[in-house]
């Protein structure tokens, strides 16, 4: 098994009424003057934002509100948030919402103490030395940003979607009450389940086969999400199933399933260009790309794909042909995605086939102008990525 570092410093408060702890947690981690950041209004309508504000008031903590984060969060709002933090001397940020709100909060946290423009970080041209601490009140299990070191931001100028990863951005606390996910629309529920599965699969499909604990944990997370996603789609207020998915979402992306393997991440990188160009939901974009990525790369570690087919997708092993077992696993995953309303190709995702020029542009951005490869299982070149987009476009 490979050496690894596992660093998951986020304090998790899971369960009913955990949102009432927000004020005390901010105080515990030194916050006295807070920016409360949120999205397009779901937390206003549900009353959660009021609960968080009240919890801060009870601890005599001053706060400023900044809403308006959109899915695929924009750098323009991040810059606005940075200005507010500097002007108001904000010393803590509370994100109330999903991955987009958390990522926007992390970007503001990184950018406030940083002298240059925040986008420089997302261009991977510089790194921060400090960040304002962030706490999270999660409303959608999906991105896993509540425990991850990543922030993914879209620059409207050029439709670029890029990440910046830094341990300084791991949230101090994550409050997770599954009741606050009852209001999620079916589409967001399914996109979230897909993203959780993909965070596990990106790490699972690697060339490192000898990490037994990690393998079994990954397979269990995948099976639990596949069991409970259809239940919450049918019964949105099923606490038990919402809770399973919510906790799986954090474990899938706090690096637990990456201990001892290098991971792949090609599907994520290829998807980020789709959501950057077409503003589609991240989870749906992943479902549309993964089958094509899998068929293009499986020969590299065919036994791994066969193991996945048998242990996760319940396919009967054809011991004479790992190739056939692997293909049946991919088909079973396509069937599952379809059953929860996810697209399995680009046409289903975008509503039309994309043009060769669009594919060329996405592949170019994905490889930073053909200067780098993408993915760990196979190091994919720009040409490989064009081939995968084309496969997904058929
Ligand atoms: O904006 P509001 O009104 O809150 O509505 C949101 C939004 O429209 C809605 N929603 C969230 N919770 C709700 C709810 N509606 C009703 N009831 C609730 N309880 O859902 C919509 C989607 O929210 P968003 O935050 O965009 O979803 P998600 O958590 O899937 O985040 C997606 C973003 O995270 C990035 C993605 O690329 C994408 O930009 N990712 C971040 C990662 C990270 N930081 O580690 C890793 C991921 O791979 C991913 O790339
Ligand atoms: Zn993701």
Please give the Cα distance from 45 to 183 (Å, whole number).
10
With a 6 Å cutoff on the Cβ, whether 93 touches ligand 1 is no
Query: What is the pLDDT averaged over residues 92-113?
Result: 98
SS3 136: strand
- Whether the pLDDT of residue 251 is over 90: the answer is yes
Cα distance between residue 100 and residue 69, in whole Å? 7
What is the helix (H) or strand (E) element at residue 268, kind and residue range? helix 266-278
| For ion ligand 2, residues whose CB falls within 5 Å | 195
pLDDT for 159 equals 86
CA dist 50 → 275, 299, 382 (Å): 31, 53, 48
Distance 103 CA to ligand 1 centre (A): 9
DSSP state of 320: T
Q: Where does the chain hold its CATH 3.40.50.1970 domain(s)?
A: 11-180
Q: What average pLDDT does range 119-142 have in this prediction?
A: 98
Residue 39 has pLDDT above 90, yes or no: yes
Residue 14 has pLDDT above 90, yes or no: yes
Ligand at shortest distance from the CA of 148: 1
pLDDT above 90 (res 242) = yes
- Atom of ligand 1 lying closest to residue 140 CA: 12
Query: What is the pLDDT, as a whole number, of residue 158?
Result: 87
- Which atom of ligand 1 sits closest to the CA of residue 39? 1
Ligand 1 atom having least distance to the Cα of 191: 30
Ligand nearest to C-alpha 145: 1
Please state, in angstroms and rounded to a whole number, the distance separating the CA atoms of residues 165 and 124.
Answer: 9
CB 142 less than 6 A from any atom of ligand 1: yes
Tens-place pLDDT, residues 172-183? 999 999 999 999
d(CA 314, CA 316): 7
Q: Output phi, psi for 390, to 5 deg.
A: -65, -40
Ligand 1 lined by 170 (C-beta under 6 Å) = no
* Architecture of the domain spanning 11-180: 3-Layer(aba) Sandwich (3.40)
Q: How far apart are CA 11 and CA 310, in angstroms?
A: 35
Read off the pLDDT band of 333 (50, 70, 90). very high
365 lines ligand 1 (CB under 6 A): no
CATH architecture of 186-392: Up-down Bundle (1.20)
The span from the CA of 107 to the CA of 317, in Å, is 46
CA-based angle 16:21:26, to the nearest 5? Answer: 145
Q: What does the mean pLDDT of the chain come to?
A: 97
Instruction: Please give the span between the terminal C-alpha atoms of the chain, in angstroms, as a whole number.
Output: 39
Which atom of ligand 1 is nearest to 100's Cα? 25
Pocket test for ligand 1, best of 36, 37, 38, 39 (most atoms within 8 A of CB): 39
Q: What pLDDT score was predicted for residue 50?
A: 98
CA of 321 to the centre of ligand 1 (A): 40
Question: Please, where in the chain does CATH 1.20.1090.10 lie?
Answer: 186-392
Asked if the model's pLDDT at residue 209 lies above 90, the reply is no
Distance 338 CA to ligand 2 centre (A): 18
């Amino acid at each position: 098994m490979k050496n690894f570092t596992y660093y998951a410093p986020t304090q998790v408060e899971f369960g009913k009424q955990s949102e009432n702890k927000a004020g005390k947690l901010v105080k515990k981690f030194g916050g006295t003057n807070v920016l409360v950041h949120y999205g397009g209004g779901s937390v206003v309508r549900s009353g959660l934002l009021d609960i968080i504000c009240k919890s801060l008031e009870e601890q005599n903590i001053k706060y400023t509100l900044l809403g308006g984060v959109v899915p695929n969060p924009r750098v323009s709002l991040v810059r606005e948030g940075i200005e507010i933090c500097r002007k108001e001397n904000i010393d803590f940020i509370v994100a109330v919402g999903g991955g987009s709100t958390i990522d926007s909060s992390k970007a503001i946290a990184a950018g406030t103490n940083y002298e240059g423009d925040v986008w420089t970080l997302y261009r991977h041209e510089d790194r921060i030395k400090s960040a304002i601490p962030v706490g999270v009140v999660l409303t959608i299990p999906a991105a896993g940003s509540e425990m991850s070191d990543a922030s993914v931001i879209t620059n409207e100028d050029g439709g670029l979607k890029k990440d910046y990863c830094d341990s300084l951005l791991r949230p101090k606390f994550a409050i997770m009450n599954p009741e606050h996910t009852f209001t999620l629309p079916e589409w967001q529920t399914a996109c979230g389940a897909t993203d959780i599965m993909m965070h596990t699969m990106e790490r699972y499909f690697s060339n490192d086969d000898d990490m037994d604990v990690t393998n079994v944990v990954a397979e269990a997370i995948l099976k639990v999400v596949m069991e409970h996603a259809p239940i919450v789609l049918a019964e949105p207020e099923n606490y038990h199933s919402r809770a399973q998915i919510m906790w799986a979402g954090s474990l899938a992306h706090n690096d637990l399933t990456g201990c001892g393997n290098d991971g792949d991440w090609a599907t994520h990188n290829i998807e980020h260009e789709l959501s950057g160009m077409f503003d589609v939901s991240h989870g749906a974009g992943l479902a549309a790309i993964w089958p094509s990525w899998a068929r293009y790369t499986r020969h590299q570690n065919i036994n791994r794909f066969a193991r996945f087919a048998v242990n996760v997708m319940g396919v009967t092993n054809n011991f004479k042909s790992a190739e056939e077992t692997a293909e049946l696993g991919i088909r079973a995953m396509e069937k599952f995605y379809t059953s929860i309303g996810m697209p399995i190709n680009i046409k289903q995702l975008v509503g039309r086939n994309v043009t060769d020029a669009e594919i060329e542009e996405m592949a170019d951005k994905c490889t930073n102008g053909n200067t780098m490869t993408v993915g760990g299982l196979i190091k994919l070149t720009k040409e490989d990525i064009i081939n995968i987009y084309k496969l997904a476009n058929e």
